[in-house]
Amino acid sequence: MRTKILIFALMLTCYTGFAQQDAQYTQYMYNTININPAYAGSRGVMSIFGLHRTQWVGLDGAPTTNAFSINTPINNSNLGVGVSVVSDKIGPTKDNTISADLSYTIQTSDEYKLSFGIKASGNIFNLDVNQLNPADAGDPNLQNFDNEFSPNFGAGIYLHSDKLYFGLSVPNFLQDSKYNDNEVAVFQERMNFYAIGGYVFDISPSVKFKPAFLTKLVTGSPLQVDASANFLFFDKLMLGGAYRWDAAVSALAGFQVTDGLFIGYSYDMETTELRNYNSGSHEVFIRFELFNKVSKLVSPRFF
């Protein structure tokens, strides 16, 4: 019973007049294209990425996220392009977003490149109030939303080398709201401000260490800070941990199966009261990259 009450409270918090946040990822360092369009083409090869996240396992109506993206540089130019699709389901709501990204890169020195990116996206929002099991099914404030479409656009900058990366971005500039027939806000999309960065240290010929961070600020929500520490052994095995401020601790693992194929997994354990109602969150991803005769992987990139 208390689980159902908790879910209902979460639904009210997320969808009745409060700011809606973008989907959450523990392994953001491999999924940068979804939050920063300037990342498109930055790896120098065609990169295909797929991710599945199951959050708060065991809690009815908990978030489930699927993300797919493909991005590539355009040969003999400074341009990069990308397309991504994200499906985010939370309780009675479902968000589907498709985005197109375009980046332009400037070589600022022998080591560093600076990329500028723009993102155009379309979001389809659905709300099935019948899944809430309302006590008063005739409540006029309870109204279904079917395939509500809203366009948006965003931008970002991304500074990177073989060792360092740092980016700033706002994926959605337009702040959209959905109202029921009584002019009550059911869904409100707010700007999400991101800062992301990391650095690779060569500990030894066989061990690399990369600390990384992501911060996210949304109007009406507390600042979110993610910090991670990953080790890469023999350019094959990645192991690490992460901490989401006042929210969760995580274990991360990955393996470079071939030059073009990398797989990863992470497990989150809540540090809030929610830990009493779920058995953690799981995230798995796969990245496949296509190389041509000119571009080849000398040492696997951490990001």
Give the confidence band of 134 by pLDDT, cuts at 50, 70, 90.
low
Tens of pLDDT, residue by residue over 2-25, are: 444 344 444 444 433 334 467 889
Contact criterion met (CB below 8 Å) for 58 and 98: no
Pairing of strands 19-20, 185-189: parallel
SS3 30: helix
Check whether 295 has a pLDDT greater than 90.
no
1-290 belongs to which CATH class?
A: mainly beta
Instruction: Give residue 20's pLDDT.
Output: 47
- Nearest one of 213, 251, 167, 182 to 28, comparing CA atoms: 213
Residue 93 structure tokens: 């709501």
pTM score, whole prediction: 0.85
Q: How far is CA 117 from CA 17, 27, 151, in A?
A: 31, 21, 17
- What is the residue extent of each domain of the chain? 1-290
Tens of pLDDT, residue by residue over 58-85, are: 988 899 999 999 999 998 899 999 999 9
Tens of pLDDT, residue by residue over 236-274, are: 999 999 999 989 999 999 999 998 999 999 999 999 988
